[in-house]
Amino acid sequence: MVEVVDARGLRCPLPVIRLARAASLLPPGSVVEVWATDPAADADVPAWCRMRGQEFLGAEADPEGGHTAYRVRTVDDT
């Protein structure tokens, strides 16, 4: 299951807050994909994963959509 969180146009800390909210509602092993345009998400999403014990799967720029997609696998209850 992949849950998409559209945080395009939102500034720090809102993309990570939306990620945390989505992750808390999903069972372990689920994937959350955060779409963000805020450059701070490059550091914020991996940092949140480290602090919360979640698995950062990587980031990929979407040149057509003008955003970056950050993928996180939920490991445990957040």
- Give me the active site residues, please: 12
Which ranges of the chain would DSSP assign to H, the alpha helix? 14-24, 41-52
The encoded tokens of residue 5 equal 């969180």
Show the CA angle centred on residue 44, arms to residues 26 and 70, nearest 5°.
55
